[in-house]
Amino acid sequence: MEKYKQFKRRIYEIIENDAKQDWIGAAFDYFIVVLILLNVAAIVIESFQNLNSTLSTLLSNFEVFSVIVFTIEYVIRIWTADIKFEYKNQVSPKVRFITSPMGIVDLLAILPFYLPMLVPVDLRFIRILRLARLLRVMKLTRYSNALILIGKILKDKKDELIASVFLTFILLLVASSLMYYIEHTAQPNAFPNILASFWWAIATLTTIGYGDVYPITGWGRILSSIVALLGIGLVALPTGIISSSFIEEISKKSKANQNTDPLVYCPHCGKKLSE
């Protein structure tokens, strides 16, 4: 039993690269990252028409190989979930991993391959499901420190971001409703209902302004100007929250590294300290 636990711990260290300076864990990470990038490249290549049979067969075999690797990785992560997670509110570690964001991404990365085998579906739906393979690129967030940092920021600032997105949605709803009642009589085809007016509100609030739908009445132009001005600050609000938090986290990390690094120069006289 003890050897089994040690073996399980070792496998966990490899897939999570939990052990410092573990070349096997680093090699595993690089292999998965390269495999994900090659999968994205394969999806791009498959979009070309009239591929020769040799290349099509190669891509199909590569897809099978990738699914096997990702399936084994997914099963191993479920198997070692009790090392990563603890029992919480009578929820098992395996369930916590399966329902975690990365667990869902791992499942969706392989599900399009197995689903047609389990459930008879329309061929058109299968083609749509194949696009879900692009979710494999989301697995890169597990292997990039920068992406992990961004994920931490999004988690820490979720309340502020949700509030800003909710405020933006309210403004879009109010603006599209007002524009519908202002412009509907003058332009019944351009503004047939509030939902159609949403497109104008989004294009105006984000200051893109495609010009396919625009107000022609005086009050409509005034409202459009107000929405455009509000959009300059409101749309930039989530960006400001994320960027300020990103700078704050980098600053904390930099200070932590300075506190752990040995002193090379004397902080008082500036002379180099002897090693």
C-beta of residue 177 within 8 angstroms of C-beta of residue 197? yes
pLDDT at 127: 56
**Non-local CB neighbours of 104 within 8 Å, separated by 6+ positions:** 98
Helices 53-79 and 23-46 cross at an angle (nearest 10°) of 140
Higher pLDDT, 136 or 85: 85
CB atoms within 10 A of CB 178: 18
pLDDT in the model for residue 114 = 82
Give the burial class of 43: count Cβ atoms within 10 A of its Cβ; 0-12 exposed, 13-18 middle, 19 or more buried: middle
Q: Show the DSSP H helices in the chain as ranges.
A: 2-16, 23-46, 53-79, 81-84, 93-98, 101-118, 123-130, 145-156, 158-183, 194-205, 218-234, 236-260
C-alpha 260 chain-centroid distance: 32
Mean pLDDT of 55-77: 90
Phi, psi of 75, rounded to the nearest 5 degrees: -65, -40
Burial of 221 (0-12, 13-18, 19+ CB in 10 A): middle
Cα separation, 71 vs 113, in Å, equals: 10
Mean pLDDT of the 25-37 span:
85
- The CB density around residue 84, as the number of other CB atoms within 10 Å, is 15
pLDDT at 205 > cutoff 80:
yes
CA distance 196 to 179: 10
pLDDT tens digits for 229-269? 888 888 788 888 888 887 887 777 777 666 555 555 454 45
pTM: 0.62
Q: Which of 5, 4, 22 is nearest to 13 (CA)?
A: 22
Report CA 223 to chain centroid distance, whole Å: 35
How many Å apart are CA 126 and CA 105, to the nearest integer?
A: 18
Fold annotation for 145-275? Helix Hairpins (1.10.287)
Is the separation of the CB atoms in 223 and 231 below 8 Å?
A: no
Dihedral sign from CA coordinates of 19, 24, 28, 33: positive
Instruction: Provide the pLDDT for residue 246.
Output: 79
- Given a cut of 90, whether residue 182 has pLDDT beyond it is yes
Q: What is the pLDDT of residue 126?
A: 53
Write down the domain spans for the chain.
2-143, 145-275
Residue 132 has pLDDT above 70, yes or no: no
34-43, 203-212, 265-274: least confident range: 265-274
Cα 61 from Cα 49, distance rounded (Å): 19
Query: How far, in Å, CA of 111 to CA of 130, rounded?
Result: 10
Q: What is the pLDDT at residue 206?
A: 83
Q: How far is CA 224 from CA 19, 79, 200, 213, in A?
A: 57, 56, 9, 11
pLDDT, average across residues 15-19? 70
**pLDDT of residue 72 exceeding 90:** yes
Per-residue pLDDT tens digits for 184-196: 999 999 899 998 8
CATH 1.10.287.3510, applies to 2-143: no
Q: Kindly report the backbone phi and psi dihedral angles of residue 265, in degrees, each rounded to the nearest multiple of 5, phi listed first.
A: -120, 150
What pLDDT does residue 143 have?
A: 65
